[in-house]
Structure 1
Amino acid sequence: MNSKKKRSLILRYLLYILGAVLFFCSLFVISVNLGLWGKIPSTDELANLKYQEASEIYSRDSVLIGKYFLYDRQPITKEEVPQHLADALVAIEDERFYEHSGVDYRSLFRVAFKTVLLRDKSAGGGSTISQQLAKNLYPREASGKLRLVATKLKEMIIARRLESVYPKGDLLLHYLNTVSFGDNTFGIESASQKFFGKNAKDLRIEESAVLVGMLKATYSYNPRVFPEKSKARRDLVLRSMVRNEYLAEAEADSIIEKSLVLNYKDYDHSTGIAPYFREELRKRLLRLKEIKNDDDGLSIYTSGLKIYTTLDYKMQLLAEKTMAAHMSKLQRQFEKSHGNSAPWIRDKGLINRAVKNSGPFKKLISQGLSESEAIDSLSTKKSMVLSSWEGDLSIQASTIDSLRHYMKFLNTGSLSLDPATGAVLTWIGGIDHKHFKYDHISQSKRQVGSTFKPIVYAAALESGISPCTYFSAQEIEYKNLEGWSPGNSSDEDETYLNYSMEQALSRSVNTVAVKVLEKTGIPTVISQAANMGITAELPEQPSLALGTGEIGLDELAGAYASFANDGRAVRPYLITKVTRANGEPLFEHQEADPEEQALSDATRKLMVEMMKTTVNEGTAARIRTTYGLRNDIAGKTGTTQNNKDAWFAAITPKLVHVSWVGLDQHEIGFKSTSLGQGASAALPLFATFMKELNRDPSFNHITRVRFEKPDQEILASLNCKPVKRDGFFKRLFKNPKKKRKKKFKKS
């Protein structure tokens, strides 16, 4: 065979091979088009794009305080996209966006030539914005080279269909609404809020350039993690805008000189403002029938709901700030008071019980390990991070070490209400939601100590006992109560003293409170508590007068509101309204019919005056002496047995604030009453918060309001000596060293 025929044969074979390749490529493209490699959406489906949206939570002063989502995304409209943002995106991602119809073949061939022939791995992917949108809308699932090629072809087909359905501006909008910025953040609005604390429409050119620059590699160019790399990428985006004539060179040079400045706000469920409030809000939303029973399958995680709440953003910030300052200081004092003999160090029984009640121990036991094996496993030291008020500690520690570390932490709960409506203004369920999920407002019921006494005294007044009735402070041993003998915390010998009700309440005299309860009757007091909104089951025992009943903090706050709300209790509420993403209302809080009056006007006014005395000169006097507050304030401190729980309930004409401090490990208490009493541990949470409110004129409508001036009849009924001393003959027959014994009359 001569060379000419040989060349002709080779050429024929090459043509056959090329034809076969083209044939199989055509078949492959047809198979992709037919959906054999996965369904391709029709133009009708593409014309009705829907994607999951995060629901947004707003404070009463219209601040975005959190989100609920599976994918953190808030779509925006074309009017909310700054022109410089669209220009930056096109300049760096798809220079010929306005020239092609979904696929930029020129760019595609350039990338193929560089990648295949020149082995240049930095050549890029050649995908247009339309193709990237297709990828955003229909994420890649399968792996493998052939599958990847099929997926790329699908994206090209979808991109061309998208271009036939939407104008270029709408395609840019859909892309910006769907693109991922990492960390489960989707869409330009969510990214703008996270990194710059503002809406996308308010972005400056340099901020738009930062966010657009992230799209090449969301982690590598994350401005929080790698600020220098992010700035360099930002500047490259700005140069691309100059090259494509979207930005003047002089303006770009000026912007490039600017530092990268963030206002980072992570909308994680455990961080940010009011995490305990947001979690309780989530639970209540899931129970809301308007959402639960909706035929459209509404979800707080995917339906883009707008949730408007009662929370005051500025007040919550101040409450969290003052809580952290007080609790960190109190924690140091608490640990110092226990010293090296602290129960979390020395009490092996306590530690052992805590370990056996822990989740890690129970999990190991469920896996078949013996108790000793489980404890050995939990004793193994490893690298871990432990939280503290001074910051995170990276140390070598065991799981048992971790349990002991967190066992010692004081925790707290505090709540502020509008007493006229029950609207929750601040909500602090604990010191740190990340490490302490338990909410001490919605989940906890603790003994309330002397904060229950105002309910006892109110019941007494309602039953006709005069506020100037005197009760002996002498300690009594009750024979029918197994010798129970409640005493007072005062060091003063009170054997011969008799207190008026006002003085006894202001000084929180336990012996008198029990006698007032006895005279009033336990059933009457329990009925009074129920009328004031207390639903907790209360002990039908004389110790009720000392606050041994376990009541939720929110119920106690609602009951105290009756003293400032014409004698009517309130039910704390969190939600004002919920709408769909388009603003269509779903739920709106309706003011309930006023509760029945739990207190007569006379009783309410008397109780306010008596609790003002508690603040002015009684157990809460440090509000005046230490903190220098001159606001109109009434209130009551509370401390439970062995200093386990510290309480303070404050009332002003426009605000009710209740705070609790204690330990989740209830076997541990304060070492001393001086540190653990309500006036020391809980009262400062209110006092420092109130001082901050006083500094801000925008809260004058709360801080400068005065209680109504009591009429002469009320003042006259309180016009008696606060303390009377027994006369000579009574003192003659009383032995201060010997307790008086009697039976307690339970009804």
Structure 2
Amino acid sequence: MVQPTRNAPPRNFAHRALRALSFQRSWFKKLTKAVWILLLSFVVVTPLFFYVVSINLFGLFGGMPSLRAIENPTNDLSSEVISADGVSLGRYFRYNRSQVSYEQLSPALVQTLLDSEDRRFRDHSGIDARAYLRIILGALTFTYQGGGSTLTQQLGKNLYTLELDGPAADLGKLPQRLIQKTKELIIAIQIERNYTKDEILTMYLNTVEFGSNAYGIKVASETYFNKPPSMLTWQEAAVLIGMCQNPSYFNPHFYAERSLKKRNEVLHKVMEYGHISRVTYDSLKALPLGLNYSVQNQNKGMATYFRNVIQRELNKWCTEHGYDLRDAGLKIYTTIDSRLQRDAEDAVANHMATLQQQFNREWRQRGLNPWVDPRTGQEIKGYLDAKIKRTDAYRNLVKRYGADSDSVGILLRAKKPMTIFTYRGERDTLFSSMDSLAYYNRFLQTGLLSMDPRTGAIKAWVGGISHKYFKYDHVRQGTRQPGSTFKPFVYGTAIEAGYSPCQEFADISPTIRLPDGSTWTPPNSSGSQGSGEMVTMRRAMALSLNSITAQVMQKVTPQNVVSFAQRLGITSKLDAVPALCLGTSDVTLYEMVAAYCSFVNLGIYTQPYYITRIEDKNGNVLENFTPKTRQVMDELTAYKMIYMLRGGVEEAGGTSEGLSYDLKDNNEIGGKTGTTDNASDGWYMGITHNLVTGVWVGGDERNIHFPSWSFGSGTRTARPIWDKYMTLVYRDRNDGYDKGPFRRPSQKLDTELDCGQYSASAEGEETF
């Protein structure tokens, strides 16, 4: 046997090398095979898994939104009330959300959203593979690399609730998360197939919650900055986009420091991606938040009483047509002009604050509260004790303790923290229920309605002094005695019967026998039975002489006056009695304004209307509304009544003579004051060629009286509001309501209307 030499390699070296090489090749083949198996499994199993999840195979994974639902997503949208000049007056909502289009988004807002939330949004198809790779690498290296959800995926989560309601719901967190994410990806792909990038981005911003009852970018922009999304700046956009991750945590109103820090982080991203410069970033991050915060609700915004009153009609319309007003996203277009509405609200607030101060001072000087018996002039005893029993606070205490329990009275007088209304803003104080009742019963209320007589369109509606604290509407809900503002119906009946505005009557109060055998002799406001001088009907109405109005009523009869008023739109019950000539039957301000419009519109009554059309959320017109009209008197009668009403302004001593010179200059105006004899109501009806406006002032209840009849006269309480309102209207050159003459009738007058000039002084304001 030959022995190997000492320097020869071992016999098995080559063998071992061959075995190692063979093992490496075998391992590589197995690895390659495994990779291919995994890859093929991924290619085959992943689509299959996506498919079985999408169809919810055997009900294992929970339902998915249908393709139709994805193609036509729905979400709760507030219905919006819009003025005639395109201004949002307010919304009806379950969730305060309103849509905008892509064109209504500021470029800064769009870019800030993309830089902060999804930089590759325009490049991916709903799934950002690079983001998922980043997450995987972050998990392997134990470093958080940010989320991987695209805007499209987040939109899917905003639109649809993806719950696991099948057997998969019992699996562990990891399988549940896998299924949930799969559903998100499926929906994201479907959304990308059905919508453009601009549409997806807009839908996302329309569905995000921003806290403070603000859903969607439009409401958020209005809530935090009081501006539309189209006007958002870089720093404002950064505040709102920063809230998308956690609207409560980054709410700028409640957590300003957090919000400011988050805003600057978002702005830094915008700078990093080159959309603002370093200089711009440095200047923007130094700015304060600059909030103009106001949470929207039915008590805020313009025309609050109007929106509340028409809501009942809108709910009825929605029920008949299969909509829910609070989430259907309807657009309700109205006749209200936001400029006139603002003028009306400003005029009311300005005058009522001053009047209330005078009212309180006068009663304090008398040592009385304003709830007095007009017959005795004494305060009504037990007034508050009786009224508290009609409140929820009293009923709840009685339910808990019993009507005879001392606890009821004690707790009604127990003071507690309360926020109250004042003309200088809300104020926190300590009030008991009795304190609150006494405080609020001292406030005077008002109503103002302004209407275009040519179209019947209501242009301004103010139902009270504060909708948050006083819900009752004094335009359409409240009925009160109109006093002397009813007199034009008496004189209108006479004009229609052939009397002339220039016909003279002796200023002597008649004695009228009543059906019960008693007599009635109405005095003038001075208390006298008349001066005995001869006065034309025009001047009698201008001076509001009760003596001559009662004589005319005798001649035309109460029943004919009732018939005339009803033709002109008075629907409240009118008592056909002699005293009706002084306005003793209750009517609404709404009825009175519409009736006076019949004079200005030359005998055509136009039913007041305030909704022009209703559109669905996509802008499709669901219904158009047009006013109903009818001829209620001939043109000559109507024009003669305009001449009569102008007498209040033009006759010496007329009850409208004291209007501002600027209003009367180069203008034709008519007006009529009214005051109830128990000093609880003051009225003013003012007419111009294109606006008829009525104003009422008084207490919420009839037992609330003015300190004196002269204090409560329409001249002092209601007319100044009309004066201030019309002054503001004429200052706005863009609202289309300018000065001018009344429209003349097409039919020629028998005689020229010219009753001459009088210089005699007035006996004073009217009664009733």
TM-score class normalised by the smaller sequence: 0.7 to 0.9
Structure 2 equivalent of residue 740 of structure 1: none
Is the counterpart of residue 702 in structure 1 residue 737 in structure 2?
A: yes
Structure 2 equivalent of residue 539 of structure 1: 575
Say whether the 8 Å CA contact 1:659–1:685 is kept in structure 2. Answer: yes
Structure 2 equivalent of residue 342 of structure 1: 369
Aligned pairs (5 A) from 1:280-429: 280-288=309-317, 291-294=318-321, 297-339=322-364, 340-343=367-370, 347-367=380-400, 369-372=402-405, 373-429=407-463
Give the letter for the 2:155 counterpart. Answer: L
Give the letter for the 1:91 counterpart. Answer: D
Structure 1 equivalent of residue 558 of structure 2: 522
Is the counterpart of residue 580 in structure 1 residue 579 in structure 2?
A: no
Superposed displacement of residue 242, structure 1: 2.2
Q: 1:107 to 1:492 in 2, by over 3 A?
A: farther
**Alignment partners' CA distance in 2, 1:142 and 1:619:** 75
Is the counterpart of residue 718 in structure 1 residue 743 in structure 2?
A: no
Superposed displacement of residue 37, structure 1: 6.8
Instruction: State the Cα deviation string for residues 331-387 of structure 1 (Å, max 9, x = none).
Output: 101111110321469654111121112232233334562155433332221111111
TM-score by length of 1: 0.83
Find the partner of 1:275 among 300, 304, 315: 304
Structure 2 equivalent of residue 595 of structure 1: 630
**Alignment partners' CA distance in 2, 1:151 and 1:173:** 30
Is the counterpart of residue 562 in structure 1 residue 606 in structure 2?
A: no
Instruction: State the Cα deviation string for residues 457-489 of structure 1 (Å, max 9, x = none).
Output: 110121223431313323637465534442221
Structure 1 equivalent of residue 112 of structure 2: 88
Aligned pairs (5 A) from 1:30-41: 38-41=62-65
**Alignment partners' CA distance in 1, 2:355 and 2:175:** 64
**Alignment partners' CA distance in 2, 1:574 and 1:655:** 15
Q: How many residues matched?
A: 687
Say whether the 8 Å CA contact 2:212–2:295 is kept in structure 1. Answer: no
Say whether the 8 Å CA contact 2:128–2:148 is kept in structure 1. Answer: no
Root-mean-square deviation over aligned CA pairs: 3.5
Say whether the 8 Å CA contact 1:422–1:570 is kept in structure 2. Answer: yes
Is the counterpart of residue 181 in structure 1 residue 210 in structure 2?
A: yes
**Alignment partners' CA distance in 2, 1:382 and 1:590:** 51
Is the counterpart of residue 132 in structure 1 residue 154 in structure 2?
A: yes
Say whether the 8 Å CA contact 1:653–1:705 is kept in structure 2. Answer: yes
Q: Which structure 2 residue ranges, 5 or more long, are not aligned?
A: 1-45, 373-378, 762-768
Superposed displacement of residue 672, structure 1: 1.2
Say whether the 8 Å CA contact 2:65–2:160 is kept in structure 1. Answer: no
Superposed displacement of residue 192, structure 1: 2.5
Give the letter for the 1:287 counterpart. Answer: K
Give the letter for the 1:597 counterpart. Answer: V
Instruction: State the Cα deviation string for residues 25-71 of structure 1 (Å, max 9, x = none).
Output: x9x99999766574343566434422222222211111122222222
Give the letter for the 1:601 counterpart. Answer: E
SS at match of 1:648: strand
Structure 1 equivalent of residue 487 of structure 2: 453
Superposed displacement of residue 691, structure 1: 1.1
Q: 1:213 to 1:382 in 2, by over 3 A?
A: same
Instruction: State the Cα deviation string for residues 546-576 of structure 1 (Å, max 9, x = none).
Output: 1011111111101001111011222110011
Q: 1:396 to 1:166 in 2, by over 3 A?
A: same
Structure 2 equivalent of residue 649 of structure 1: 685
Structure 2 equivalent of residue 64 of structure 1: 88
Instruction: State the Cα deviation string for residues 53-109 of structure 1 (Å, max 9, x = none).
Output: 222221111112222222222334445555543432243335676668268545656
Is the counterpart of residue 610 in structure 1 residue 644 in structure 2?
A: yes
Instruction: State the Cα deviation string for residues 565-609 of structure 1 (Å, max 9, x = none).
Output: 0112221100111122222211112343x41232x3332222222
Q: 1:722 to 1:483 in 2, by over 3 A?
A: farther
Superposed displacement of residue 127, structure 1: 5.4
SS at match of 1:240: helix
Superposed displacement of residue 722, structure 1: 8.7
Say whether the 8 Å CA contact 1:136–1:178 is kept in structure 2. Answer: yes
Say whether the 8 Å CA contact 1:88–1:212 is kept in structure 2. Answer: yes
Say whether the 8 Å CA contact 1:558–1:570 is kept in structure 2. Answer: yes
Give the letter for the 1:718 counterpart. Answer: C
**Alignment partners' CA distance in 2, 1:545 and 1:77:** 57
**Alignment partners' CA distance in 1, 2:741 and 2:230:** 44
Say whether the 8 Å CA contact 2:602–2:639 is kept in structure 1. Answer: no
**Alignment partners' CA distance in 1, 2:446 and 2:110:** 48
SS at match of 1:324: helix
**Alignment partners' CA distance in 2, 1:270 and 1:31:** 47
**Alignment partners' CA distance in 1, 2:468 and 2:533:** 51
Superposed displacement of residue 715, structure 1: 3.8
Find the partner of 2:584 among 548, 568, 573: 548
TM-score by length of 2: 0.81
SS at match of 2:555: helix
Give the letter for the 1:101 counterpart. Answer: I
Give the letter for the 1:304 counterpart. Answer: G
**Alignment partners' CA distance in 2, 1:158 and 1:142:** 10
Structure 2 equivalent of residue 49 of structure 1: 73
Give the letter for the 1:530 counterpart. Answer: Q
**Alignment partners' CA distance in 2, 1:207 and 1:649:** 47
Structure 2 equivalent of residue 165 of structure 1: 190
**Alignment partners' CA distance in 2, 1:243 and 1:698:** 46
SS at match of 2:710: helix
Say whether the 8 Å CA contact 2:370–2:705 is kept in structure 1. Answer: no
**Alignment partners' CA distance in 1, 2:462 and 2:127:** 55
**Alignment partners' CA distance in 2, 1:79 and 1:717:** 60
Structure 2 equivalent of residue 469 of structure 1: 504
**Alignment partners' CA distance in 1, 2:687 and 2:247:** 50
**Alignment partners' CA distance in 1, 2:176 and 2:343:** 53
Q: 1:377 to 1:150 in 2, by over 3 A?
A: farther
**Alignment partners' CA distance in 1, 2:151 and 2:329:** 25
**Alignment partners' CA distance in 2, 1:569 and 1:501:** 24
**Alignment partners' CA distance in 2, 1:151 and 1:66:** 42
**Alignment partners' CA distance in 2, 1:604 and 1:171:** 59
Q: 1:561 to 1:397 in 2, by over 3 A?
A: same
Give the letter for the 2:547 counterpart. Answer: T
Structure 1 equivalent of residue 97 of structure 2: 73
**Alignment partners' CA distance in 1, 2:205 and 2:544:** 63
Superposed displacement of residue 652, structure 1: 0.5
**Alignment partners' CA distance in 1, 2:395 and 2:139:** 58
Q: Which structure 1 residue ranges, 5 or more long, are not aligned?
A: 1-25, 725-747
Give the letter for the 1:324 counterpart. Answer: A
Aligned pairs (5 A) from 1:216-231: 216-227=245-256, 229-231=258-260
Identical positions, percent? 34
Give the letter for the 1:562 counterpart. Answer: S
Greater Rg by CA: 2
SS at match of 2:640: helix
**Alignment partners' CA distance in 1, 2:172 and 2:493:** 78
Deviates more, 1:391-400 or 1:187-196: 187-196
Q: 1:91 to 1:337 in 2, by over 3 A?
A: same
**Alignment partners' CA distance in 2, 1:720 and 1:215:** 72
Deviates more, 1:239-248 or 1:222-231: 222-231
**Alignment partners' CA distance in 2, 1:125 and 1:473:** 91
Is the counterpart of residue 688 in structure 1 residue 710 in structure 2?
A: no
